[in-house]
Amino acid sequence: MYYLPWVFLVAASLWVSLAAFFWGLKSGQFTDQTRARFLPLRDEAISPSLKNPSKPSREVYFLFGILGLGCLILAFTLFLALGSYFRGR
């Protein structure tokens, strides 16, 4: 019973990682590898132009959603692990 929360955490992490990888494949993040190889050697900074910098973009909400989901999964795993620890006493 002790390993079940950790198996859940690993499965959830694997699912999120695979979802991010397939999103990257679908959106073309890995298409231009020759250009990506030389990006660290460039001198100028690349910054996207923002239409309205005072308003958070959709990506910011998505990243906060991922952060919140990770915190919820971690809290749930901690709850299960501590619950099984204190029940065993």
pLDDT in tens, 10-35: 899 999 999 999 999 898 888 887 87
Kindly state the percentage of the chain with pLDDT values over 90. 30
Q: How high is the mean pLDDT of the chain?
A: 83
Distance CA 24, CA 19 (A): 9
Alpha-carbon 14 to chain mean position? 10
Placement of tokens 């695979």 in the chain:
18
Exposure string over 5-21, b if 16+ CB within 10 A, otherwise e: beeebeebeeeeeeeee
Q: How is residue 9 written in tokens?
A: 């955490």
Confidence class for position 47, pLDDT limits 50, 70, 90: low
Instruction: Fill in the DSSP letter of residue 55.
Output: S
pTM reported for the whole predicted model: 0.42
At residue 63, the pLDDT reads: 93
Q: How is residue 77 written in tokens?
A: 């795993």
